[in-house]
């Protein structure tokens, strides 16, 4: 089995249910969930059953479409009110990943543009087509990101990645791991991927290592605090990570620990790249200081992965889901439009990102 062939997020054949691969069960169990109510869709995004900024965007698009189908009647004002209420509810599930709000805004724009000219059934079909387009575009964009990233690689390179920004984080191919998949398509079989375990949800261990190993890539799993010695030993030639939101100046939020990896890479002189679709770049915020950081439950640190609790009762826990990597530590940001180099705000403008 190759994880690249797993479908991360889709719509059911009768188009009534959002279908997701439950990533909380990987790598031990492959299970698909079919969701058709607001609470289960919200919970799937909130609890990271579907995760990765691009995949969250696709799930949100299909999710709001599934909910919109439930509206009865031909009252257009009522439909618009219902849609915006459901959109606001889904949008509150994950505050950091900008693709969530981006996809929901895009679906809302389709509704606004066609509300007066279409019947409610026609509008529902149009929303479904938009969700399909978002998914198809994500696959094309991820492949393009992979091709740009491959241009930076050499045979035999050791690549360090943090968390999971592979195929499981998108509709297919991924962002940070997309260059590895494209390399395989070109017959490269000599890359070595080092996957940070990535506390507290172990997405590097459970997902990235699973992806790379099932794809036939030489894969090594590292605990997060082993990255420095691995770099010092000369094993790492380049770092590829994803992003949940990129600010106009190139600061970006990714899974907690990414900024530490960037600091290590700078110290050891290793190129450090962020790979993300242009939809992840939020030009409305000037810097990473404006990116909201999600704080997660302390139980993820104290007891989630253990047979017995591994921390004293009542101890305070710091458990932010993300940190912000300063743009000064970033060699380049790879999008489907090409590779942006500092100063990033000007590079984004040249790429037509507004």
Give the residue numbers marked as catalytic: 244
Q: Do domains 3-142 and 145-350 have the same CATH topology?
A: no
Average pLDDT over all residues of the chain? 96
Phi/psi at 57 (5° precision): -60, -45
Report yes or no: 26 and 206 within 8 Å, Cβ to Cβ: yes
In whole angstroms, give the CA distance from residue 240 to residue 6: 22
Distance CA 104, CA 282 (A): 15
Confirm if 43 and 63 have CB atoms less than 8 A apart: no
Do 91 and 101 meet the contact criterion of CB atoms below 8 Å apart?
yes
Among the listed residues 167, 169, 170, the one whose alpha carbon sits nearest the alpha carbon of residue 180: 167
**Confidence band, pLDDT 50/70/90 cuts, at residue 93:** very high
Listed by start position, the domains of the chain span 3-142, 145-350
Q: H/E element holding 100?
A: helix 98-114
CATH homologous superfamily of 3-142 equals translation initiation factor eif-2b, domain 1 (1.20.120.420)
93 prior amide bond cis, ω within 30 = no
Q: Is the dihedral of CA 110, 113, 114, 115 positive or negative?
A: positive
Structure confidence at residue 354 (pLDDT): 87
User: Residue 339 and residue 42: Cα distance in Å, rounded?
Assistant: 34
Question: Which contacts qualify for 125-129: CB closer than 8 Å, 24 or more apart?
Answer: 127/64, 127/65, 127/68, 128/11, 128/15, 128/65
- Model confidence pLDDT, tens digit, residues 22-35: 999 999 999 999 99
What pLDDT is attached to residue 97?
75
The top-level CATH class assigned to 145-350 is: alpha beta
> pLDDT per residue over 266-324, tens digit each?
999 999 999 999 999 999 999 999 999 999 999 999 999 888 999 999 999 999 999 99
Q: Which two tokens stand for residue 171?
A: 């509709």
What is the pLDDT averaged over residues 91-95? 91
Closest CA to 325 of 333, 336, 334: 333
From CA 272, how far away is CA 159, in angstroms rounded?
A: 10
Q: Structure pTM? A: 0.94
Strand partners, 195: 161, 221
**With the C-alpha atoms ordered 341, 346, 348, 349, is the resulting torsion angle positive or negative?**
negative
Q: What is the pLDDT of residues 168-219, one digit of tens each?
A: 999 999 999 999 999 999 999 999 999 999 998 999 999 999 999 999 999 9
What is the full DSSP assignment across 124-147?
HHHHHHHHHHHHHHHHHHHHHHHH
Q: How far apart are the C-alpha atoms of 119 and 121, rounded to whole Å? A: 6
Q: What is the pLDDT of residue 305?
A: 86
Phi, psi angles (nearest 5°) of residue 259: -65, -35
**pLDDT class for 86, splitting at 50, 70, 90?**
very high
CB-based contact 176:243 (threshold 8 Å): no
pLDDT digits (tens, 9 = 90+) for 148-169: 999 999 999 999 999 999 999 9
**Averaged over 125-136, what is the pLDDT?**
98
Q: Are 252 and 39 in contact (CB under 8 A)?
A: no
């Amino acid at each position: 089995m190759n994880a690249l062939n797993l479908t991360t997020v889709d719509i059911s054949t009768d188009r009534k249910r959002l279908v997701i691969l439950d990533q909380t069960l990987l790598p031990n169990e492959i299970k698909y969930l079919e969701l058709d109510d607001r609470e289960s869709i919200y919970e799937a995004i909130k609890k990271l059953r579907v995760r990765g900024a691009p995949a969250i965007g696709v799930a949100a698009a299909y999710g709001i479409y599934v909910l919109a189908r439930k509206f009865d009647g031909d009252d257009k004002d009522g439909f618009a009110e219902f849609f915006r209420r459901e959109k606001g509810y889904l949008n509150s599930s994950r505050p950091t990943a900008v693709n969530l709000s981006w996809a929901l805004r895009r679906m809302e724009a389709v509704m606004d543009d066609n509300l007066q000219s279409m019947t409610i059934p026609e509008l529902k079909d149009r929303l479904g087509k938009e969700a399909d387009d978002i998914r198809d575009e994500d696959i094309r964009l991820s492949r393009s990101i992979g091709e740009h990233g491959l241009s930076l690689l050499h045979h035999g390179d050791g690549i360090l990645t943090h968390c999971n920004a592979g195929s499981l984080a998108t509709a297919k191919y991924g962002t940070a791991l997309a260059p590895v998949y494209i390399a395989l398509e070109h017959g490269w079989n000599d890359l070595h991927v080092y996957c940070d375990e990535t506390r507290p949800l172990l997405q590097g261990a459970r997902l990235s290592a699973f992806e790379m190993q099932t794809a036939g890539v030489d894969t090594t799993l590292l605990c997060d605090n082993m990255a420095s010695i691995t770099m010092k030993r000369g094993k790492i030639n380049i770092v590829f990570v994803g992003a949940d939101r990129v600010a106009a100046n190139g600061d970006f939020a990714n899974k907690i620990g990414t900024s530490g990896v960037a600091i290590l890479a700078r110290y050891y002189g290793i190129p450090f790249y962020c790979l993300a679709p242009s939809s992840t770049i939020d030009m409305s915020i000037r810097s990473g200081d404006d990116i909201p950081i999600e704080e997660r439950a302390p139980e993820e640190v104290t007891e989630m992965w253990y047979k017995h609790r591994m921390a004293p009762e009542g101890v305070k826990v710091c458990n932010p889901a993300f940190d912000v990597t300063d743009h000064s530590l970033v060699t380049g940001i790879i999008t489907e439009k090409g590779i942006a180099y500092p100063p990033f705000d000007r590079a984004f403008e040249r790429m037509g990102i507004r």
